[in-house]
Structure 1
């Protein structure tokens, strides 16, 4: 099997990780492209002694480590408000802590694999994750709208949100209900399923909400393929059901950390 075939299934998730790490779809995709160019130019250098996904992320991290100081230091007319907010916050959290948090809680790597990717002892990864979460939680607190039609799942998500110190302003089960609640409550974060109770779409609900005001969005869905298509801009934060509580906590912390708005058409 060719190297391209081995790594292709993992590219959408690397793009998700890169966007979450950088706080920008454009910056994240630039790093992914650079990693792919490095693989194409020197295929023999690709780590073949590990799983292809690990090798792909390892190549990405080599690019990130050599260039992130330059990217994070960029300022210019094209920088958005949320990116400037993110960069100010990033300065207070070490890069290893951010990477450890995202690699384990969002991408699902073990502490050992995350340690391999960031060149840190596996025993240190858990401490790095806790350090990042604690710092992010100190910086962010908001009101959250949950769009979810399964009562048990909605209650679980509500508990996670409250455990992080945020307020839940409502739980909507249809598109219309979600839009109305968002209009009335103006939440600082939206957690949205895709398939809703009346066969309406959480994607459409989010589109309607974002037409009225900007708010960061996390999709929690059993149908990630509807968003991770590569054919249109995708939300930075996407969690697949069934989910781990730690994954939801990490996504909430990162979304609020970057104060970013999901953007898709």
Structure 2
């Protein structure tokens, strides 16, 4: 029988494994089957838990042993946004790159943890993540709407977004302009400041847009992150603080567009 402290630690990490397995396999049912097989494997080899750097790493490492031995199959993909995200994931062609990407971006493991989970070294784990990010950036393009009242910042954002292959549908400076712009042409993603030119709210603009259309990823860019990071629900999946770097914006745009909606993967 697993000791009580290990049982608690594994139980606390299990929801994250289920989330990861769902994203990796493309379906909740398939992911849960692999998660259950992982628990059975751990029960047969408790030394694997004790020898790992943490119980969570041990759980994910055991999952990957089961996953690899089964040939890394993809289940019957769930519909909607999950299917869209899974189609994007399938475009990552380098072995273990999609695993490394999800472990890094969704589960926020360090490179050293990813190396331990995948059975490689830290440098290779970091390179797998970098390769996945490059492949991810190259694989998805779409329409992006910008809500930003500062002209210079708006132009910088437009240039960066265009350089990585997306088309900007337009730039809105107020809530009303944003709602009207989205109605004329539905974007695939929104980049929004919080405080707008007429003291209207980018948050309100986004909420009104989303109330009239299907779900889409949103990135908030703001000098006031504390207004959104309150610990209350809902909080944004992607939040960039001004001043931002080009690298930060490129990465956030690529990830948000690639995964279609992180709600699908992190719920």
**Given the two structures, how large is their TM-score scaled by the length of structure 2?**
0.62
What residue is the counterpart of 1:34 in the other structure?
36
Counterpart residue number, 2:49? 47
* Contact 1:146 1:191 survives alignment (8 Å): yes
Structure 2 counterpart of 1:253:
254
Structure 1 segment 56-205 matched on structure 2, within 5 A: 56-66=59-69, 69-70=72-73, 72-74=74-76, 79-80=79-80, 83=83, 86-87=86-87, 90=90, 93-146=93-146, 161-170=161-170, 177-191=177-191, 202=203
Q: Does 1:217 align with 2:217?
A: yes
Whether the aligned pair in 2 keeps the contact of 1:104 and 1:110 (CA below 8 Å) is yes
Structure 2 gap ranges (5+): none
CA contact (8 A) 2:26 2:76 kept: no
Is contact 2:146–2:168 with CA below 8 Å preserved after alignment? Answer: yes
> Conserved in 2, the CA contact under 8 Å of 1:187 and 1:215?
no
Give the match's secondary structure for 1:209. Answer: helix
Conserved in 1, the CA contact under 8 Å of 2:100 and 2:128?
yes
- Tell me by how many angstroms 1:116 deviates: 1.3
> Is the Cα contact below 8 Å between 1:219 and 1:239 reproduced in 2?
yes
2: distance between equivalents of 1:121 and 1:258? 27
- Structure 1: runs of 5 or more not aligned: 230-234
Contact 1:97–1:132 (8 Å) recurs in 2: yes
Change in CA separation of 1:29 and 1:160 when aligned onto 2, cut-off 3 Å: farther
Partner Cα separation in structure 1 for residue 206 and residue 31 of structure 2 = 23
| Mapped partners of 1:172, 1:9: distance in 2 | 43
- Give the deviation of 1:212 after TM superposition: 3.6
How many residue pairs get aligned? The number is 252
Distance (whole Å) between structure 2 residues aligned to residue 31 and residue 151 of structure 1: 51
Partner of 1:47, secondary structure, is helix
Distance in structure 2 (CA, Å) of the matches to 1:154 and 1:60: 44
**Displacement after TM superposition at 1:90 (Å):** 0.4
The 1-side partners of 2:153 and 2:11 are apart by 32
CA RMSD across the alignment? 5.0
Q: 1:54 to 1:112 in 2, by over 3 A?
A: same
Q: Partner of 1:232 in structure 2?
A: none
Matched residues in 2 for 1:160 and 1:189: separation? 14
**Per the alignment, do residues 117 and 225 of structure 1 end up closer, same or farther by CA in structure 2, a change over 3 Å counting?**
farther
C-alpha distance in 2 between matches for 1:67 and 1:224: 42
- The answer as to whether partners of 1:106 and 1:247 remain within 8 angstroms in 2 is no
TM-score scaled by structure 1? 0.62
